[in-house]
Amino acid sequence: MIKRIAVVAALALWATAPMARELDINLHDDAAEVGLYFPPTEDMYVEDADLGGSLFFNDDGDVALSGIVHVTGPPAEGFSPLQFGAGAKGYIIYADEPERTVGAVALSGSARLSIPAQVPQAVVFRGHVAPNITAFGRAKRLFEGNIRYKLDFTPRASAYLGFRYLRLHMSSDSNQTLDNNLHLGVRVRF
């Protein structure tokens, strides 16, 4: 089953790579995530959006393929360093222990606190929650929470220190944490 998921993920990344304009890679000793995103075009009426997908894997053999649509609104009138966003994220997850493939569609929300400085900085909170009604397979619920401290070195490159918590609640009343760790990441526009 893991081979099928790897083939689907590789095909999805290969098919969308020519259209992607942002690459996001984050990793730590036990897990990594690679994402390809499409920034908003001139036809869209948003300033900041994540449209794309990512492949997450860890050393326990768990693999998650996800797609996201998340829009962040502009700051309030005048100077306001706070921005809010909302969206949805879909998951297909192969959990190695117990050996199961599950899926979920999660609603997401975010808050971004910009820190004006010579090098623009921000603290970004983002959460994704899939209740029982939108979880498939043997999954009952899914929760993913992220917090990032981001530095924008150039308009096309940023680096961040983040923390991700990704947890599945299975129908057998067992929980599986796929990630619960700090990570380093970079995001590059090309």
pLDDT of residue 3: 54
pLDDT of residue 4: 59
**Contacts of the segment 106-111: beta carbons below 8 A, 24+ positions apart:** 106/130, 106/134, 106/142, 106/144, 108/68, 108/70, 109/84, 109/85, 110/70, 110/72, 110/84, 110/85, 110/86, 111/82, 111/83, 111/84, 111/85
State mean pLDDT over 71-75.
83
pLDDT of residue 143: 97
Given a cut of 60, whether residue 183 has pLDDT beyond it is yes
Domain of 169 in residue numbering reads as 2-189
CA distance 71 to 44: 11
Which residue reads 């680096």 in tokens?
159
Given a cut of 80, whether residue 25 has pLDDT beyond it is yes
Q: pLDDT tens across 144-171, in order?
A: 999 999 999 998 999 999 999 999 998 8
Cβ neighbours of 112 (radius 10 Å): 20
State mean pLDDT over 130-139.
91
Instruction: Indicate which CATH number applies to the domain containing 180.
Output: 2.40.128
Cβ neighbours of 29 (radius 10 Å): 9
| Domains contained in the chain, number | 1
State mean pLDDT over 93-112.
88
Indicate the pLDDT class of residue 24, thresholds 50, 70 and 90.
Answer: very high
DSSP code per residue over 150-189 = EEEEETTEEEEEEEEEEEEEETTS-EEEEEEEEEEEEEEE
Given a cut of 60, whether residue 15 has pLDDT beyond it is no
Least confident of 12-16, 124-128, 172-176: 12-16
pLDDT of residue 45: 61
State mean pLDDT over 80-95.
91
* pTM over cut 0.75: yes
